[in-house]
A and B are shown apart, each in its own frame.
Chain A
Amino acid sequence: MTTSEIQFDTPADPVLDGPVLQVEDLHVSFPSESGRVRAVRGLSYHVSPGEVLGIVGESGSGKSVSSLAVMGLLPSSARISGSIKFQGRELIGQNDAELSKIRGRRISMVFQDPLSALTPVYTVGDQIAEAILVHRKVSKAAAAKRAVELLDLVGIPNAVERAKAFPHEFSGGMRQRAVIAMAIANDPDLIIADEPTTALDVTVQAQVLQLLETAQEVTGAGIVIITHDLGVVAGFADRLMVMYAGRAVEKGNVDEIYQRPRMPYTLGLLGSIPRLDVSEKQALVPIKGQPPSLTDLPDGCPFAPRCPMVVDACHTAEPPLVDVDGSAEHSAACIRTNEIAAADAEGAEAAVEIFGAEVAGEPEVAKIPREQRDVVLGLDNLVKEYPVNKGVVFKRRVGTVHAVAGITFDVREGETLGLVGESGCGKTTTLMEILNLQKPMGGEISVLGTKSSEVDSKRRFAIRRDMSVVFQDPMASLDPRITIHDCIAEPMQVHGYSKDEINRRVPDLMRLVGLRPEQLSRYPGEFSGGQRQRIGIARALALEPKLVVLDEPVSALDVSIQAGVINLLEELKSKLGLAYLFVAHDLSVVRHIADRVAVMYLGKIIEIGEVDSVFDAPRHPYTQALLSAIPIPDPVKERQRERIILTGDLPSPANPPSGCRFRTRCFLHASLPPEQQRKCIDVEPPREVQAPDHEAACHFAQIRQVL
């Protein structure tokens, strides 16, 4: 009986016809040492029942702060003014006790980082049950039962057992599901999702987005989804609001904005996304510079310093949000919006035109056919295993983690190989083995024709000149205590360059990566993320390597900054004839930058080949699933696409499935008759040639277009 009380009352409560949420002229500011930070400045928007509003912007644009203001979760130092009406009731000025009756009951929230969003010391079931118990007078047993039902609803298998697990026993995707279960526990009327998929793998991202759609259907709630990635919201949102420097700079329905953006910033954001569905080389639009400091905003348009269309008039006053194209549904804050409307091209193409982005050419060496080029890096059946030990005093081996289970590929001069796969598939282990240059456990690594198993330490040192690395996290990979000059100079000192030569090369390298040599005496802390990654690239190029290993070089950066770094990498490749091994989980970036791509799953390469062939005609079901999970920043296409949603998480590499390692999650395997399934279970599929320069390891490989 108790459970029936908390069933979902779909669709939305017929209490009111008006919007669920109405925000008017919201201002939020925080005190700081350099003056008040005006994080949100005069923001107005509304969300209707059952509607999905996407809020998009770079970090620091005020999108999260404005949502926390709605939840009443800002720190007490924040000064808030304006109006936030939820179902007609004013929320600003309410005390914590009153707001807590609405929070979790009528408005709920899903946060960015599922790893830290759950209290580590309580079970998942208890935490979900708590959300019910706070708001309803039900027995503990009924709440616990309901928690299990909710876990089941969000797709946690074996929910009864899993409810007793602690958060650390859940994977990231499962934790995000648990958070969503908590958010829908009380059938809310508004769900705010703050970057709900940013911290997740692409396959899990697709699962979570689909789950949010389900949650929306089940509860009938309005949804606010906050993201910096225009791709994520294309197929999901109904309306979009683009934020910059604490204000809305463009609002409108989702098709309008993607097809006819009317504010240069939106254009830039759209143009900066590498597209998965575009095979010819696409020019990426980097938005130069950084978002302005919110303590000391200039007069006029805050985007003006980064805007390619800036004119003197832009500096006189901040443009208001006005209707464009004669539609009350679409508004933009730009004085030159009519000129954008008058341009011939639309959407991302207009962005390329306006921002003047260019495609970098191919390096000279790429004109020679691939087979005739030198092999820069060759992996032959590389194996890496880790022992699993048990016991403190008497360690005994209880198992083996097969992190890399025999992979073979080569990278030739002047080409980029993208290595992709979910977290835990062995990408990083492969990379570390290559960089270590030791004799591998099994198989062979050769760099420029020299086998790692046959080199002594002297030779190894010499090889390191030809091979360098750029790391994922630009914040952590630079020593904060040494100047940029010393940082870039260090590899050259180690390899015995003369002082004069170093002093000549360091400024050259700075210019090469698009930074000013005058900044050489500064410390890493004074640079932004994108600039730091450029410094990391300069350091990697110091010894004039032939091969650069890039470990997720852009995944920690905002999309608009990411575009600049990708462009730089392409330009450098073309100028210096470099070969890249590019490890990434973002397939759109890989499609943009790579010549060939290798897809890894549980320590094996399951598909490899020329990038267009693999992306346009994927043969392996896993590749097909990965590709279909990537959102495309095109609402029309996105809504028509059929998603292949992989079930569950990656199996443990300590105990991989027999035969084909992917079969436990494979939709193709599931659809086969039993006698054919037998083959998947018993026989490990070999890598077979499917097309010129395209191999896949599947017994039943067939083309399936997913873009």
Chain B
Amino acid sequence: MAGFLLRRLVNYVVLALVATFLAFTLASATFDPIGVLQQRNPPPPAASIEAKKRDLHLDQPIPQRFVTWMGGVVKGDFGRTVADRPITDELGRRIGVSLRLFLLGITIGILFGVLLGVVSAIRQYKFSDYFATLFSFILLSMPVLVLGPLLKLGAQGLNDAIGTNVLIFVGETTPGFQGNWFEQLGDRLQHLILPTLAIALGQIAFYSRYQRSSMLDVLGSDFLRTAQAKGLTRRKALFKHGLRTALIPMATLFAFGFGLLVVGGTFTEKIFTWYGMGDWLVVGIGSQDANITATVTLFVAVCVLFSGWLADVLYAALDPRIRVN
């Protein structure tokens, strides 16, 4: 089994390289950072344009540029932005911001999504099931562009009613906030709640639908009846035998859901003014920066593929039938 997972990991490294190469090539071929430079008023001197071209390796063919850039990446150097700042300096902070947001969002999303799905399945066709269905469909049909501002409006209303700013929806900390670590944490939490909700709500809606149907499949199964026949109460049988089995088909969904979330998180970051990876991609494209674009793509590729790998691990952990082969 370990060998299998290791082989998968090697495959994924290759895939991540391919994805990054494609993004780098596409960006390099279409971006024109020098053109942007030339349109400045007054135009920069020709010598500095030439110097910029050299700095950005624009005199080399694209594959060679990629090799140069990748050579740096292997050593931990992601190159420089068009504005000549090292990407590596900013990378760590931005990854931190994104992961903080998404990991929390998806954890809450999975936990409550599964719970809601299970409750829905057990109480099929009862009021709570209909309610959960309605809730899910409304959220699933609402893009984050709508959900985000709605949450903001709601938070504003809440803040007004209480009289202080409990929920803050700009940035991830209050600029210039001073205080001990506890107060710092409180401040961060105040900023974190709304964007996390914006992510988690959609995830809950999404997972609960799938969990409901996979749980319904299990509910009618013979082994659940066997478990009860040996003396487990219905509730215990449902959770010990039913839920565990119903989670198996969800493993892939969880893993890739996370990967896709990171890709699609740009809007959430933008709406709540968080300077994470999604935001960076927009900045990178705006400034015609191939290095930033390739770096973000590499990050996303690693996230997606790591998720895929995690799905394999989860599968193996949940389902003994996979483990044998």
Contact B228 A116 (CB under 8 A): no
Cα distance A135–B236 in the bound complex, in angstroms: 14
The chain A residues found within 8 Å of chain B, CB to CB, are 71, 73, 96-97, 100-105, 108-109, 111, 113, 116-123, 130-131, 134-135, 166, 168-169, 179, 182-183, 185-186
Q: Which of B252-278 contact A (CB under 8 A)?
A: none
Contact B229 A103 (CB under 8 A): yes
Verify if B234 is at the interface (C-beta below 8 Å from A).
Answer: yes
Contact B222 A131 (CB under 8 A): no
Q: What 0/1 readout, one digit per residue, does chain B (227-261) give for beta carbons within 8 Å of chain A?
A: 11111111100000100110010000000000000
Beta-carbon nearest neighbor of A169 in chain B: B324
Among B223, B230, B235, B324, max chain A CB count under 10 A is at: B230
Among A105, A119, A166, A183, max chain B CB count under 10 A is at: A119
- Residues of B close to A169: CB separation below 8 A: 324
Contact A120 B231 (CB under 8 A): no
Q: What's the least CB distance linking B312 to chain A, in Å? A: 13
Beta-carbon nearest neighbor of B320 in chain A: A166
Contact A120 B321 (CB under 8 A): yes
Given A103-B228, A120-B319, A130-B230, 11 further pairs, Cβ under 8 A: A71-B229, A100-B233, A100-B234, A103-B230, A104-B230, A104-B232, A111-B229, A116-B222, A119-B241, A121-B318, A166-B320
Contact A121 B228 (CB under 8 A): no
Beta-carbon nearest neighbor of B317 in chain A: A121
A to B CB contacts below 8 Å, 28 in the list? A71-B228, A97-B233, A101-B231, A103-B228, A103-B230, A104-B229, A104-B230, A111-B225, A111-B226, A113-B222, A116-B221, A117-B223, A117-B225, A118-B226, A119-B223, A119-B241, A119-B244, A119-B245, A120-B223, A120-B321, A121-B245, A121-B248, A131-B230, A134-B232, A166-B320, A169-B324, A182-B226, A183-B230
Contact B324 A100 (CB under 8 A): no
Judged by DSSP, the binding face of B is helix
Among A97, A102, A113, A120, max chain B CB count under 10 A is at: A120
Cα distance A102–B229 in the bound complex, in angstroms: 9
Contact B231 A111 (CB under 8 A): no
Cα distance A116–B227 in the bound complex, in angstroms: 12
Q: What's the least CB distance linking A123 to chain B, in Å? A: 8
Q: What's the least CB distance linking A65 to chain B, in Å? A: 13
- Kindly identify which residue among A119, A122, A135, A168 contacts B231, using a CB–CB cutoff of 8 Å: A135
Contact B231 A100 (CB under 8 A): yes
Contact A168 B229 (CB under 8 A): no
Given known A-B contacts A121-B318, A121-B320, A116 and B231 have beta carbons under 8 A apart = no
Q: What's the least CB distance linking A391 to chain B, in Å? A: 11
Q: What's the least CB distance linking B119 to chain A, in Å? A: 15
Cα distance A104–B248 in the bound complex, in angstroms: 27
Contact A121 B319 (CB under 8 A): yes
Residues of B within 8 A of A (CB-CB), count: 24
What total of A-B pairs shows CB separation below 8 Å? 85
Given known A-B contacts A116-B223, A120-B223, A109 and B229 have beta carbons under 8 A apart = yes
- Residues of B close to A105: CB separation below 8 A: 231
Contact A73 B228 (CB under 8 A): yes
Q: What 0/1 readout, one digit per residue, does chain B (211-231) give for beta carbons within 8 Å of chain A?
A: 000000000011111111111
- Kindly identify which residue among B223, B228, B318 contacts A118, using a CB–CB cutoff of 8 Å: B223
- Kindly identify which residue among B227, B318, B324 contacts A119, using a CB–CB cutoff of 8 Å: B227
- Shortest Cβ-Cβ A-B pairs, 10 listed: A104-B231, A104-B230, A131-B230, A116-B222, A134-B231, A166-B320, A109-B229, A119-B223, A100-B233, A119-B241
Cα distance A119–B243 in the bound complex, in angstroms: 11
Beta-carbon nearest neighbor of A110 in chain B: B229
Among A113, A117, A135, A168, max chain B CB count under 10 A is at: A117
- Residues of A close to B319: CB separation below 8 A: 120-121
- Residues of B close to A166: CB separation below 8 A: 320-321
Q: What's the least CB distance linking B248 to chain A, in Å? A: 7
- Residues of B close to A100: CB separation below 8 A: 228, 231-234
- Residues of A close to B231: CB separation below 8 A: 100-105, 131, 134-135, 186
Q: Which of B274-325 contact A (CB under 8 A)?
A: 318-321, 324
- Residues of B close to A130: CB separation below 8 A: 227, 230, 232
Cα distance A628–B304 in the bound complex, in angstroms: 60
Q: What's the least CB distance linking A442 to chain B, in Å? A: 30
Q: What's the least CB distance linking B325 to chain A, in Å? A: 9
- Residues of A close to B232: CB separation below 8 A: 100, 104, 130, 134
Cα distance A103–B232 in the bound complex, in angstroms: 8
Q: What's the least CB distance linking A668 to chain B, in Å? A: 36
Cα distance A185–B188 in the bound complex, in angstroms: 56
Cα distance A109–B227 in the bound complex, in angstroms: 10
Cα distance A121–B229 in the bound complex, in angstroms: 18
Q: What's the least CB distance linking B216 to chain A, in Å? A: 13
Beta-carbon nearest neighbor of A103 in chain B: B231
Given known A-B contacts A111-B225, A116-B222, A118-B223, A168 and B321 have beta carbons under 8 A apart = yes
Q: What's the least CB distance linking B286 to chain A, in Å? A: 43
Q: Which of B33-48 contact A (CB under 8 A)?
A: none
Contact A111 B228 (CB under 8 A): no
Cα distance A380–B230 in the bound complex, in angstroms: 53
Cα distance A104–B229 in the bound complex, in angstroms: 6
Beta-carbon nearest neighbor of B318 in chain A: A121
Beta-carbon nearest neighbor of A116 in chain B: B222
Beta-carbon nearest neighbor of A71 in chain B: B229
- Residues of B close to A103: CB separation below 8 A: 228-231
- Residues of B close to A122: CB separation below 8 A: 241
Q: What's the least CB distance linking A217 to chain B, in Å? A: 21
Contact A120 B245 (CB under 8 A): yes
Beta-carbon nearest neighbor of B241 in chain A: A119
Cα distance A297–B239 in the bound complex, in angstroms: 40
Beta-carbon nearest neighbor of A112 in chain B: B222
Cα distance A104–B232 in the bound complex, in angstroms: 8
Cα distance A109–B232 in the bound complex, in angstroms: 13
- Residues of A close to B224: CB separation below 8 A: 119
Q: What's the least CB distance linking A198 to chain B, in Å? A: 13
- Kindly identify which residue among A71, A120, A186 contacts B320, using a CB–CB cutoff of 8 Å: A120
Q: What's the least CB distance linking A241 to chain B, in Å? A: 22
- Kindly identify which residue among A116, A121, A135, A168 contacts B244, using a CB–CB cutoff of 8 Å: A121
Cα distance A417–B320 in the bound complex, in angstroms: 43
- Residues of B close to A116: CB separation below 8 A: 221-223
Cα distance A168–B321 in the bound complex, in angstroms: 7
